[in-house]
Structure 1
Amino acid sequence: MRKMLAAVISRVLSRVAAQKPATRVLAGSCHYSKQATFEIKKCDLYRIDEGPPVSTELTREDGLKYYRMMQMVRRLELKADQLYKQKFIRGFCHLCDGQEACCVGIEAGINSTDHVITSYRAHGLCLTRGISARAVLAELTGRRGGCAKGKGGSMHMYANNFYGGNGIVGAQVPLGAGIALACKYKGNQEVSLTLYGDGAANQGQLFEVYNMAALWKLPCVFICENNRYGMGTSVERAAASTDYYKRGHFIPGLRVDGMDILCVREATKFAANYCRSGNGPILMELQTYRYHGHSMSDPGVSYRSRDEIQNVRSKSDPIMLLRDRMVNNKLASVEEFKEIDGEVRKEIEDAAQFATTDPEPALEELGHHIYCNSPPFEVRGANQWIKFKSVS
């Protein structure tokens, strides 16, 4: 018995001894590439001869930055889901987990001075436009520390050169064209990126705006985030034509793989430069997918199967695709990504703690910030005897 035990111990010790040098070599040879070149899916084109490139370079620095931001968006949305179910968040809440490559890729393809306006599914773009996780979650919970002082909620969040977050389906598209008109009027070489969903693509006001934008050659990039489902309805049941990139008719269009951040980045660069060159508007369709339902009142599994969602997660998840590319091309290690995941998780937990303990706005501030740069005036409350002062 003692001989058998001694033999087992000897084998274990020999294995450990054999593994130690290998571990040391692995740690010592951990030299990362500074950049790598990747093939990306060719975009479908409409009324345009040349499109974005089919290959692009990714630096290690940019890759880690993109990964961190996509994880921030993912973790924030999962935390918002939790806070909603705990009744810290009230009203409407539309989550974009699964669509992280869209918001992060768009921001990577434009300048900070360019303008972005979107629908109510806005949390990801809030982060990429520079709003902190604390300010986003505090706005969702209606607290003073929110980016709109707790008065806008999920549908109305703003930042520099970011105009929401708009609650009416498709209503942000005419506003985005107005921003583009201002850019052209000022001649500042800035562009307006106007986002909407596949459901909003059937709104009549979009086609009126297409006409004006083309007529006046506005520097407007119309972006349809096609996540395959409107409010419980698949695109095939809602649209006679699901080629959303052709919906501009007389406006050039691109159909882009919206699950690949590099593809989105290059397509956005191309579209923004197209507009900056004075060619007028262009339309981009980002083919993407949302993991949650349309809103918190929609479980998201009554009109699609759990297997379908899991299939997308396992094959096309944007965070997974970027991580695998970087690891396989020695731009980063699995351990680095785990470290980033831990940092992001901690930051989101801190933001959630702030969003659930920060005070709510005082009642006397209810009338504040109605107008910009306006002298103070009185606002009538629920009855004629209640008055609030409005301060810009």
Structure 2
Amino acid sequence: MYSLQLIVRNALRHPLRTLLTILGLVVAIFSFGLLQTVVDAWYAGAEGASNTTLVTRNKTSLVFPLPLSYATRIRAVPGVTGVGYANWFQGVYKDPKNFFAQFAISGASYLDIYPDLLLTADERAAFLRDRQGCIVGRKLADQYGFRVGDVIPLKGTIYPGTWELTVRGIFDGKQSSTNTATLFFHWDYVNETVKRLAPRRANQVGVYVVRIDQPDNAAAVSQAIDSEFSNSLAETLTETEKAFHLGFVSMSEAIVAAIRLVSFVVILIIAAVMANTMAMSARERLAEYATLKALGFRPGFLARLIFGESLLLATLGALLGIALLFPFAALLGKVMGTMFPVFAVSGLTVAGQVLAALAIGVVAAIAPSVRAARVNIVDGLRSIG
């Protein structure tokens, strides 16, 4: 208790210096957490992917479709328990700036593979009955004010024309990592229209989503599916849902790496500032340390005072930085809308902030502690005044 009182009094000797040091720590810990949250948002799709879901696409490129007839053959592969399919739609809602994900899906077979999309039984039934019906995620509905029964006009880009969709349900996510910034509607609606306008483009899908019986069978089932269509006009590439999402992330890997680097540089800079602050404090107290040694206090006691003060400042800065991060991240998530469908502070990010603060506190106290422990009593007392 006596040591704690000394630590607190030492920290408050120079209120302005202490305040500025804590403020710097707050900014650094807050920035570190925010940048790590941005990185987590980038990987949210991959981290939230199911380990029992595979994605089958055209081997040449994702922009090339696959025949609808592949569904029956994929369903017959041993280990496959469900098959759905989807097309990326890319329609424009009122203004090109209003970008959000839109998929034409195979209805019940697709929803069965994604039980994390929570709909009421009535909403699900209403969606499946209405060929022009759609379901929207909670985040998307909140952003644009969609309500059940609303008609959403989408101007097609890949599929020309104006497509009017009636909202039949608003789904929530079973987990915080579930993407609720997406619109789903019926693939059959698109296909029927394409049959009339461009028959050669009909009966084609973008990707197949495949549910398997066990995660350990992912590699074997993937190979079996691709072997089924080898040497065909549309060969396939099957991979886990996580690998599929990571393929998109890899396109911006340099940006993600730069963000990670900046977050650690911020910590290194504040560690240097903190170390300088502690060095200044220790230098000013050399006479006091010499007096304490002359009275019989061991070097370990002096080191405890210095480490305690450094860790106290780091802890205060970390607590304030973490406390500010949560409301700011929530606000930023709303502002960015569908750019980052999942934008939330994770437990790992908070743990990283705490560890970074502790590391700063320990590193900043090492040099002053060594100097205090080695100070000669006579030389230290000479530094008075």
Q: TM-score, normalised by structure 1?
A: 0.22
TM-score normalized with structure 2 length: 0.22
More strand by share: 2
* Higher relative contact order (CA closer than 8 Å, sequence separation 6+): 2
More helix by share: 2
